[in-house]
Amino acid sequence: MTGLVQALTTGVLVGLAYAVLGVGFSLTWGATGVINAAHTMVAVIGAYLGYHALAWWGIDPVLALVGIVPLFFLFGWGFFEALVRPLKQKVRVVGLASVVLTLGIALVLESFTTLVFSANPRLVRTEYTSMSFVLGPARVSGGALVAGVISLVVIGLLYWFRQSTYLGRALRALEQEPEGAALTGIDVRRASGIAMGMAFATAGAAGVALSLIYTFSPTTFVSWLVFTFLVVILGGVGTVVGVTVAGLIAGLVVTVSSLVIPFAWANLVLFGVLILVLLVRPTGLARR
């Protein structure tokens, strides 16, 4: 029994990490049609900034978010204006083209990150990352716990924003009905820019959160990108709840199934779940 509770706890924490990385990516896709392959590279840069805030100035990476989040928001908006808008003017359906574009950006960012910070892998160490906390019969590391809290806050804020603010609802309208939204007086350009800004901001926060659990280097963005794809296909595009649920499912499937089958096959169970869901609901778990 304790084994199961431990597996559930770990699964939730891992799942939240996947989810916080995926929500921004999903939102970008929904609001602008852009599949941002550079999303996780932005997250990695967020991780580097948090790491160096600690290393150079002794500022905890979580506190550094105060600076990172607004900064990345501006970057995201700028990214939209400088690159995404011109692309959307050239092609009507952005899909594949955006993957290529953002992949190019990701590679460039990776090279610069390597030049500036070197390729050596990094690890964030604060007072709480080596602590162990007891949650009932389960135990969790401090880093995972704080990361989980950050994830919940980010996801929660995002959800609240989309449900309760004018801009948030405008974005949801934009996702549902791109042409119709413009007709109802929504400034599509501004809304899209803000959506992308928020996506980058969440990426930065996700990077910091993940850095409390995982080591990272410039090339880490590739494996994080794969996690992200998984979670968004499973959860759906343009949905916070869908992606979060998908992340939790992904984390839980791996930890719980490894209780009964060899660990190496747990990933296959996850892939199997994904394929099953897609057979029934091709656009992902969330209702579209």
Partner 1 sequence: MKRFKATVVAVALVLAACGLAEEGTTTTTSAEVDTPTTAGATPPETTDTSTGDTASTEPEAEGPSGDPIVIGAALPLTGEFADTGVFVRDGYQAMVEYWNENQGLLGRPVELIIEDDASDPGQAVSLLEKLITVDGVDLVLGGYPGSSAAAQMAVAEQHGMVYVSMGGHMASFEQGFQYSFGAPPLMGQWWYRGFFDFLETLPEDARPTSAAMMTANNPVGAAVREGTLSDLEAAGIELVMDELYDLPLASAEPLVSQAMNSGADLFIANSFFPDGVLTIRAVHALGYQPKAILEGIGTLIPSWEEELGDEGDYVFSGTAMHPDLPFTEVELLREMSNELYGTTAPPIYFMFGATWADTLAQGVEGAGDIDQDAIVGWLKSNEVCSFGGCLTYDERGLPEPYSYLVQVQDGVPQLVGPGDVTVVDPIYPIPWGE
Partner 2 sequence: MRRPSNRTTWILIAAVAVGVALLPFTGMSVYSMSVAFTVMFYAAVAVAWNILGGYSGYESFGHSAFVGIGAYTTAILLSEFGLSPLLTSFLGATLAALVAFIVGYPCLRLRGPYFALVTLVVSLAVSVVVVNLPGLNVASGIFVPSPAGSPVMTRFILYESIAAVFLICVVVARIIERSQLGIGLAAIREDEEVAATQGVPTTRLKMAAFVVSAALTGLAGGILSWSRGYLDPGDMFSVDTSVLIVLLALFGGRRSWIGPLIGAVVVTLGREFLFIVIGEDAAQILYGALLVVVILFMPHGLIGPRPRLGVEQEVAA
Q: How are beta strands 132-135 and 138-141 bridged, if at all?
A: antiparallel
Q: Name the minimum Å distance from CB 270 to partner 2.
A: 9
Instruction: Encode 62-80: b = buried (16+ Cβ within 10 Å), e = exposed.
Output: bebbeebbeebbebbbebb
Structure tokens at 287: 């209702």
Structure tokens at 256: 């719980």
Burial of 251 (0-12, 13-18, 19+ CB in 10 A): buried
> Residue 247 — left, alpha, or beta (φ > 0 → left; ψ -120 to 50 → alpha)?
alpha
Q: Which listed residue (8, 71, 103, 273) binds partner 2 by CB under 8 A?
A: 103
Cβ-contact 44, 221 below 8 angstroms: yes
Q: Which listed residue (53, 106, 140, 212) binds partner 2 by CB under 8 A?
A: 106
149: partner contacted, choices partner 2, partner 1, none (Cβ within 5-8 A by kind): none
Q: Which listed residue (1, 93, 183, 260) binds partner 2 by CB under 8 A?
A: 93
Q: Residue 10 or residue 32: which is nearer to partner 1 going by CB?
A: 10
Any contact of residue 214 with partner 1 (CB under 8 A)? yes
Any contact of residue 143 with partner 1 (CB under 8 A)? yes
Any contact of residue 135 with partner 1 (CB under 8 A)? no
Q: What residues contact 267, with CB distance under 8 A and at least 6 apart?
A: 254
Q: Residue 38 or residue 210: which is nearer to partner 1 going by CB?
A: 210
230: partner contacted, choices partner 2, partner 1, none (Cβ within 5-8 A by kind): partner 2
Task: Tell me which stretch binds partner 2 (CB under 8 A): 96-104, 143-151, 182-190, 241-249.
Answer: 96-104
Any contact of residue 116 with partner 2 (CB under 8 A)? no
10: partner contacted, choices partner 2, partner 1, none (Cβ within 5-8 A by kind): partner 1
Q: Residue 87 or residue 199: which is nearer to partner 2 going by CB?
A: 87
Neighbouring CB atoms inside 10 A of 96's CB total 10
Question: What is the Cβ-side half-sphere exposure of residue 270, based on CA atoms within 13 angstroms?
Answer: 24
Q: Residue 35 or residue 154: which is nearer to partner 2 going by CB?
A: 35
Contacts (CB under 8 A) with partner 2, residues 232-251:
232-233
Q: Give the span between the Cα atoms of 85 and 284, in whole angstroms.
A: 27
Neighbouring CB atoms inside 10 A of 85's CB total 14
CA distances from 215 to 48, 58, 116, 221, 259 (A): 11, 19, 18, 11, 25
Any contact of residue 244 with partner 1 (CB under 8 A)? no
Q: How big is the site for partner 2, counted in residues (CB under 8 A)? A: 45
Any contact of residue 259 with partner 1 (CB under 8 A)? yes
Binding region for partner 1 (CB under 8 A)? 3, 6-7, 10, 14, 111, 114, 118-123, 125, 129-130, 132, 139-141, 143-144, 213-215, 217, 219, 223, 227, 251, 254-255, 258-259, 262-264, 266-267
